[in-house]
Structure 1
Amino acid sequence: MVRSRFRGEIVGVGSDSGVRIVVGRWPSSPLGSFADVMVETADGHRVLLAPSTEVAEFVAATYSFDSVRLEDVRVDVTPGRRWSVRSPSLRLDVTFGKRTLLGRLLRLVPRRIAESPAWCTLTDPVARVVLRGVRTRGSAGGGRREWYGATDHRAVIDLSGSFDAADLGGLQPVLPSPRFGFSSTPARPSVTRVVTTVEW
C-alpha cells in the first residue's frame, strides 16, 4: 500500500444560484503545488476543474464527477482574509471571518496527532454527528482509502463571482451536500486547513 499526503486548505461555499463550490489549495503534495475546484450545479451536474492531466486523473480516480475540464486554476490569497479564485470558467471571491469554535478546538490538538490517520479514525464518529455530511475517514474511488486531518477552521462571510458566465449571487449554506465522495464540506461556508492522506 502507498500513502500520499496533501497539505493545504479547502473552501466550501453555497450560493443563491444553487451552485456549490469546493476549492482545494494544495501548496504541498505529491503532485506539486496546485489548486483544483469541484463544482456542483443547481441541477446536480458535478464538474472538476483541474490544472493538469496528472491532477485531473488523480482527483477523478478518487472522487465522482460528470465532467472534467482542464483549466488553469489560480488562487490569490490575502492571508486570513480573502481568496480570489480564477479559471476560464470560474470567478470566485470569498471573504473569511473569525476562527470558529471548531477552529479553536482543532488548534488545541498537536499537529502531529491531528494529521494522523489513527486520530482521523477516532474523530470520525464525532464529525458525523457534529458536522452534517462530514466524514474524516472513508473509502474513495478505485479502492482507495482517505483520511482528513483538520487543524483549523474559519467561517466564510461573503461570496461573489460567476460560473460559466452566470452570476452566483450571494452566500448560502452548502446544501444540499455536494456528491463528490464519501465526505462533504461542512454545511456552514468555511475554510478548513487540512492534511489529506490517500492510501491505495
Structure 2
Amino acid sequence: MGGQRLVFSGYIAGFGTGSGVRLVIGHWTRSPFGAFTDVMVQTAADERVLLAPSAEVAEFVADTYHFDRIEVGPVTAVMSGARLDVTAGELTVAVGIGGPAPLDRLLRLVPGRLAVAPWWLSAIDPIASRIVPGVHTAGSAGQGRREFYGVRRSRRIVSVSGAFGGRDLGGVAPLLPAVGFGFSSAPPDPQIVAVTTTIDEGSAGRFSRRRLMG
C-alpha cells in the first residue's frame, strides 16, 4: 500500500550572492503545515544550513533534503509584488523582484492543472534538465519519497541586500555552483517561481495527516 500525497503551493526564490552564499527560500501559502517560510542556505564553504520556523517543519524538510546544520526559530516573510523580505535567525534578506524570466512565456503555455500533474512532470523531466542544466521536475527524495516541481510562472530577481552570520551578502549573483540539498538545484539565473510541489510518501511514510495538520 502506498503512502499519502502532500501538496505545497507557493513560491521558491533561488539566487546566489556576491559573498558566495547561495539561498533557496520556500514561501508557502498553502501546505499540510499551513502557511510558512523556510530557507535553505549553502555557504561559500559549502555548509548546508536549514532555517525552519518549527521543529515539525524542520524534521519533515530534513528528512526530505540534506543539511549539515539545522536552526529552528522564528521565520518572518513579507512578499509584495516587487519585493520579498525574510528574517530568519542569522539571516536578513531583501529580494527585489523584476519582470518575467526568460522561460516564463513557455511556462504560461501549459494549462494550470497539467503543469502541476506528477505524471506530466515525470514525463518532461529529461527535457527540463536539458533546457536548464541541474534543474529537475521529478526525482527521488529522502525517506523513500518522490517529489515533483510544477512551476507555473517565473520572474527575475534583480537585487539582493542583507546579511548572513554577520557578513554582508554582497548583492545578487548567479546561483553557481549549484546547491546540493536534493536531486534538483534552482536555476543559475536568479529568479522566483510560482510553484506547486507534490511529495508522494513511500509506503513507510512517517508523517500522518493528523500529525501534519496538528
User: Normalised by the size of structure 1, how large is the TM-score?
Assistant: 0.97
Report 1:129-144 matches (<5 A). Answer: 129-144=130-145
2:204 equivalent in structure 1: none
5+ residue gaps in structure 1? none
Equivalent position SS for 1:6: strand
Report the CA distance between 1:110 and its aligned residue: 1.1
Contact 2:9/2:29 (CA < 8 Å) preserved in 1? yes
SS of residue in 1 equivalent to 2:99: strand
Q: CA–CA distance in 2 between the matches of 1:105 and 1:89? A: 37
How much identity, in percent, do the aligned residues show? 48
The residue aligned with 1:199 is: 200
Paired letter, 2:164:
F
| 3-state SS of paired residue (1:126) | helix
Whichever residue aligns with residue 33 of structure 1, its letter is A
Matches within 5 A, 1:85-96: 85-96=86-97
Contact residue 140 and residue 183 of structure 2 kept, 8 A? yes
Q: Which residue of 1 aligns with 2:15?
A: 13
How big is each residue's C-alpha offset from its partner over 1:158-191, in whole Å with a ceiling of 9 and x where there is no partner? 1111001110101110000010000010000000
Pairing of 1:1-200 with structure 2 (within 5 A): 1-79=3-81, 81-200=82-201
Deviation of 1:101 after TM superposition, in Å, equals 3.1
Q: Match for 2:134: what amino acid?
A: G
Number of residues of Structure 1 aligned to a counterpart in Structure 2: 199
Structure 2 letter corresponding to 1:196: T
3-state SS in 2 of match to 1:9: strand
Shift of 1:12: 0.4
Measured after TM superposition, the shift of residue 72 of structure 1 is 0.9
Name the amino acid aligned to 2:18.
D
**Deviating runs (4+, > 4 A) in structure 1?**
none
How much is the aligned-residue C-alpha RMSD, in angstroms?
0.8
Equivalent residue letter for 2:16 = G
Unmatched tracts of structure 2, length 5 or more? 202-214
Distance 2:101 2:55 in 1: 36
Q: Which 10-residue stretch deviates more, 121-130 or 25-34? A: 121-130
Encode CA deviations 1:99-149: one digit per residue, 9 max, x unaligned.
Answer: 123112111211111010011112211111111210000000111110000
Structure with larger Rg: 2
Question: How far apart, CA to CA, are the structure 2 residues paired with 1:188 and 1:100?
Answer: 9
Q: TM-score, normalised by structure 2?
A: 0.91
AA paired with 1:69? Answer: E
